[in-house]
Structure formats: structure tokens, C-alpha cells
Amino acid sequence: MTLPLQDTDALRALQGLEDGNSSVRLRAALAVGTNPDPRFLDKLVERCAIEPEFSVREMLTWALTRHAASATVPALLVELRSERAQARSQALHTLSKIGDRRAWPAITRALLSDAADEVARSAWRAAVVLVPEGAAPELAAELSTQLGRGGHETQLSLSRALIALGEAASSALRAAMTDHDPRVREHAIATERLSRDPDAGFAFAVEEAKRVMVLGTTGQEE
């Protein structure tokens, strides 16, 4: 059982979270997560929205998961309405790590189609984790509206989300394979190929999708 930090240690950790040295911030986040204390919750959430270093953000997320979900989830839901993209993205990322399905209603269409790729990717991952039983086909249909979006990383994130939904995504993918937009068709075919052969990698799946499109088939016949 961990014990709350003493006041002097708490003050030092709070100051450390704002230190100009990322290593100091990382150690401070580790200390806070090792000794969960409700007094740190607001500062952790606030810091997630502005922290520039990926490794520190990951440690902040871990520290938040160490606190009671009953307090953490409501604070993160507020961040989903922030004008700052990083605040929305990190809140979604942390919610996916906590896995409390009471957060599901907050994963809106607006977040799933957010103009900021980093937010949309986090929303896709969170949605797959939090989706309640029976809602996966509807989620897959919504995610399929984003097919063809963005560059390699964004498309790979979406493909992984759809694949994680399993059979529930099959209907949405089949429909997307005949979409009028060639980027949508290509992405849908690549996702289906990747689901069949995960070891092949996304780049190979995309090349296969291009070949299939040249041949004028969906690839489902093979």
C-alpha cells in the first residue's frame, strides 16, 4: 500500500512537474504516480495539456491511472472540451488506459472526426477500448467515414482500430471498398488485407491494395 507524500515532498513534486528540465519532470511524475495523492490530480491533468516531451506525457498518464477513476475520469472528460488539441488528445489517451466505460458517451462523433489528427487517433483508440457490447458495428460505421484520411501514421491508426473491432467492422469495410473516392477504397482494401495478414505490415497492404484497384477488383474474390 502506498502512502500520501508528506507536504514538503508534495510541494517538491509539484514544482518538479513544472521544471525546465524534462528529466526532472519525468522523475516528479514518477514520484506522484508511485504515491497517488488527490492533491496532484488537477496539476497532472493540467500538465498533460502542455507537456512537450512524449516520455513525460506517458509518465503523467501513468500517474493519472494510479489515482481513483471516480475522480480522474470526470476531470479528463472536462479536458475533452478544451480548445487545445493536446489536452483533448492526452485526455482521450488516458481514458483509454483507464478503461472505464462510463466515459463512452463522451466519445462523440466530433472527437472521432476531429480536425487534429492526433486527437482523432486518440479518439479511435479510446473508442475501441470503451465501446459497450452491441455498439461495435455502429462505431465501425462511424470510423469508416474517416477512411482515406491523412498520411501513413493516421491511416495505420484507423486500420488498427477497425481491425480491433473484428467482425463488427466487416460490413463497413466492404461498403468502403466500393466508395467513389479512390483513397477510401485503397485504405479499406489495405485494412482488410492487413486484418488477414498482420505480419505483412501496413505498407505492404497498401501496395497490395493499389494492385487490386488496378486489376479492378475489391480483393475479396481472392
Q: Give the contacts of 77 (CB within 8 A, at least 6 positions apart).
A: 91, 95, 103, 106
Per the CB < 8 A criterion, the answer to whether 187 and 218 are in contact is no
Q: Which residues of 56-92 are buried (b: 16+ CB within 10 A; e: fewer)?
A: bbbbbbbbbbbbebeebbebbeebbeeeebbbbbbbb
Check residue 13 and give its pLDDT.
81
What does pLDDT average to in each consecutive run of 10 residues of the chain (222 residues)?
Answer: 59 87 95 90 96 97 96 97 98 97 96 98 98 96 97 94 95 94 93 82 66 59 44
Per the CB < 8 A criterion, the answer to whether 177 and 220 are in contact is yes
Check residue 196 and give its pLDDT.
83
Report the predicted TM-score, pTM, of the whole model to 2 decimal places: 0.87
Task: Retrieve residue 131's grid coordinates.
Answer: 465501446
Check residue 216 and give its pLDDT.
64
Check residue 212 and give its pLDDT.
67
CA 146, CA 142: separation in Å to the nearest integer?
8
Check residue 221 and give its pLDDT.
45
Distance set, CA 55 to CA 62, 72, 89, 91 (Å): 11, 20, 15, 16
Check residue 198 and give its pLDDT.
76
Q: What is the DSSP string of 61-126?
A: HHHHHTS-HHHHHHHHHHHTT-SSHHHHHHHHHHHHHH--GGGGGG--HHHHT-SSHHHHHHHHHH
Check residue 214 and give its pLDDT.
63
